[in-house]
Amino acid sequence: MLLQSAKLIGAGLSTIGLTGAGVGIGVVFAALIMGIARNPNQFKKMFTYAILGFALTEAIALFALMMSFLILFAF
């Protein structure tokens, strides 16, 4: 009983990283929109950097989700 509750609490706490990743993705695309509004000629270059930032931020979210599943199903 105690082990099961500890697993559920640990899995829940490990998903906190998902909220940070959501905020990070919002910041990346907000910066993209502001940058395009200031200099529309650099759209292609800024979009490439935004997609790179999105991918790296999403990788952190996937790591947090993976840790949550490992806690739930591997122990």
Q: What is the domain-level CATH number for residue 62?
A: 1.20.20.10
pTM, 2 dp: 0.79
Write 39-45 long-range contacts (CB < 8 A, 24+): none
Contacts of 71 (CB under 8 A, 6+ apart): 7, 10, 11, 14
Q: What is the mean pLDDT of the segment spanning 66-70?
A: 93
Q: CA angle, corner 41, sides to 24 and 21, nearest 5? A: 5
Domain membership of residue 34 as a residue range: 2-74
What is the total count of domains within the chain? 1
What is the per-residue pLDDT across 4-57, written as a single tens digit (0 to 9) for each? Answer: 999 999 999 988 889 999 999 999 999 999 999 999 999 999 999 999 999 999
